[in-house]
Structure 1
Amino acid sequence: MTTRTRTEVTEFVLLGLSIWPEMQPVIFGIVLTMYLVAVMGNSLLVIVALSDPKLQTPMCFLLSHLSFIDIFLTSITVPQMLAHMLSGNRTISFNCCLIQLFFFMAVGSMEGHLLVAMAYNHYVAICDTLRYSASISCLLCLCITLTSWVVISLNSLLFSVLVPRSTFCGNQVTHFFCDITPLLKLSCTRPVVNEMLIFTEGVAVVVSPFFFILVAVLRKALSTCSSHILVVLLLYGSVIRMYLRPSSSYDLDQDRQVAIFYTVVTPMLNPLIYSLRNQEVKGFSGNFQLCSQDITKPNGYKSS
């Protein structure tokens, strides 16, 4: 067996998406374009949803919050990666790495919780239309959102506390941001507690919302929720592929490429998917309604 020398790590070196210098300009241009599209598209959805009184509905509240989360999620990782590619300095301090890990895990988990709330909203609107107005309100959505923030913040804090307790045998992170799996890979010993936590918390925070969404949309809402299913599959497909497996099977070179899907691609596609699939998108003349599907009208949905 080969042994690795233990070192006191004060900073990490993020290796980025590719080690090939000739690929850096291409990667920089592609990622920057996707980032700008994601920020502008989601910002437009937030502005429109908050500025138009006709859009003050539970679904628009959730969708605008999802857009805010997408802006936050992609801004946690992408600007730093682009700055590292421009400057050539890929180091990040230990404390900044932990802060980035905390916010990334919290915001990423929050996106899943919002998709659950949106799936429940769809389900009630389609399967119990007459009682929708009495069952779903913006206040209820706000309470769900705040409760989710508390739960996922505590969960993320737990990981941020456990990581510093590990002993690292190097500081080169095979990723473009500080994520839990490449950090565990640097541990001198197998971090059994951290791995068990990932699986147990992953089932509670990731897998259970995923199955709830599938049950909600597949029962009676399949024909009207195809866009929601597409977003869910894009997000959870990459997340499950990344985290819900033992550390011995980690392929960090592939993982950092898969991470692009839920850090950049999904936030970029969300506003496009939800706006184009909305039946009331009429254009920008007079009243630009991106998310104003009136789910309180029984004839606004197909029944089966």
Structure 2
Amino acid sequence: MAQKNLTRPSEFLLLGFSEEPELQPLIFGLFLSMYLITVFGNLLIILAINSDSHLHTPMYFFLSNLSFVDICFTSTTIPKMLWNIYIQSQVITYEACIIQVYFLMLFAGLDDFLLTVMAYDRFAAICHPLYYTVIMNPKVCRILVLVSWAISVLHSLLQTLMVLRLSFCGELEVPHYFCELNQIVRLACSDSFPNDLVIYITAVLLAGGPLTGIFYSYTKIASSIHRISSAQGKYKAFSTCVSHLSVVSLFYCTSLGVYVSSAATHSSQSSATASMMYTVVTPMLNPFIYSLRNRDIKRALKTFFRIAAIKRTLERLPTPVFWSGDFHGLSMGSHRVRHD
């Protein structure tokens, strides 16, 4: 019997990590914990930066944007997966899948561009310190973020529209816990060559381009640090880049691992595990990387918690009550004494 051709299927099946019922509570608890750590960790970074005027600099402005994007990136996939485990279902509707593809591409692109912008910021600070405030003025910082958003929105819109032109048939099983673009294209019955072409071209331009920019920036940074005479000066300059280099390495290595694993095997479990690294683990580790190696962030967090503790203490103190009747009586009594 021929398979039914569906231009717009009603739903997809997300295979996830395992179909074993006894493993579902463990997977649910693990991903819920990682999701909460990711959200609260990145929220603390945003609150610390916004509450401390000393951190209102380009570097921390970009970091707060990165933390916001990481929260959104994780929230695109994990809540749906947790809900499916809770209701014991693997179904995601066609519309929800397309929306998930759109926002995944959007926030993944924003992560990529913001890391590139942050590398440029470190390049300007170390290689051109005298002109840094002119090069990275607030207007330029806002423009860089807006351009990153604009390119990411257009790219994700292009990829989503390309998916909408595909027809599907047969069992629509996605070997992931979310709607991953390459896997959705593989399920199509219609010609997917234009989709593959767009995916590869945009990957070269929007991933290879920023990575080249990051590599160039740090080549110049390394050259400038090498020319610094004092060991203390070298250490100070290099320490401002360690956190960013760690996040860049984590993001690109895990992203590359996803595509290498998906090309080497079609196993549901291995593909989902590889995807988890850059969609969950990387956003979760970013706050730890920046807070543990950054004295300014740690100081801002301590100040934030100290102020919050003082406010809670003040709120618990009893509120003084003034009795107008007593004062009125005292006033009348005094009047009577004077009258007598």
Fold shared per TM-score above 0.5: yes
| Distance in 2 between residues matched to 1:230 and 1:248, nearest whole Å | 26
Give matches, 1:127-166, under 5 Å: 127-166=127-166
| Among candidates 249, 256, 272, match of residue 272 of structure 2 | 256
Q: 2:282 aligns with which of 266, 274, 279?
A: 266
Q: Distance in 2 between matches of 1:261 and 1:229?
A: 17
The answer to whether residue 95 in structure 2 is matched with residue 95 in structure 1 is: yes
Contact kept in structure 1, 2:48 and 2:300, CA below 8 Å? no
Q: CA deviation at 1:231?
A: 1.0
Question: 1:201 maps to what in 2?
Answer: 202
Q: What is the number of residues matched between the two proteins?
A: 287
Q: Which residue of 1 aligns with 2:322?
A: none
CA distance in 2, matches of 1:27, 1:187: 29
Measured in 1, the distance between the counterparts of 2:124 and 2:300 equals 28
User: How many angstroms does 1:288 deviate by?
Assistant: 7.1
Distance 1:111 1:119, change over 3 A: same
1:185 alignment counterpart? 186
Partner of 1:36: 36
Q: Hey, what's the Cα distance between the residues in 1 that align with 2:81 and 2:52? A: 36
Instruction: In structure 1, give the amino acid aligned to 2:19.
Output: I
Shift of 1:230: 1.7
Moved more, 5-14 or 27-36: 5-14
CA drift at 1:178 = 1.1
- Equivalent position amino acid for 2:189 in 1: C
1:214 aligns with 2:195: no
After superposition, the Cα gap between the structure-2 partners of 1:230 and 1:285, relative to the gap in structure 1 and judged at 3 Å, is closer
Correspondence for 1:293: none
CA–CA separation in structure 2 for the residues paired with 1:194 and 1:261: 25
Of structures 1 and 2, the larger Rg is shown by 2
1:241 and 2:257 correspond: yes
Please give the alpha-carbon distance, in whole angstroms, between the structure 1 residues aligned to 2:263 and 2:67.
Answer: 35
1:184-212 deviations in Å (ceiling 9; x for gaps): 12112551111111110001111211121
Distance in structure 1 (CA, Å) of the matches to 2:124 and 2:204? 25
Which range moved further: 10-19 or 105-114?
10-19
CA separation of 1:10 and 1:38: change in aligned 2, threshold 3 A: same
Q: 1:232 to 1:190 in 2, by over 3 A?
A: farther
Asked whether the equivalents of residues 210 and 232 of structure 1 are also in contact (C-alpha less than 8 Å), the reply is no
TM-score (norm 1): 0.87
**Percent identity (aligned):** 37
CA–CA separation in structure 2 for the residues paired with 1:286 and 1:11? 49
For 1:99-118, list aligned pairs within 5 A: 99-118=99-118
Ranges in structure 1 where 5+ consecutive residues have no aligned partner? 290-304
Residues 14 and 175, structure 1, Cα contact 8 Å, conserved in 2: yes
| Unmatched 5+ stretches in structure 2 | 226-237, 307-340
Q: Following TM superposition, by how much is the alpha carbon of 1:284 offset from its aligned partner in structure 2, in angstroms? A: 4.5
- TM-score, normalised by the number of residues in structure 2: 0.78
The question of whether the paired residues in 1 share the 8 Å contact of 2:106 and 2:153 is answered with yes
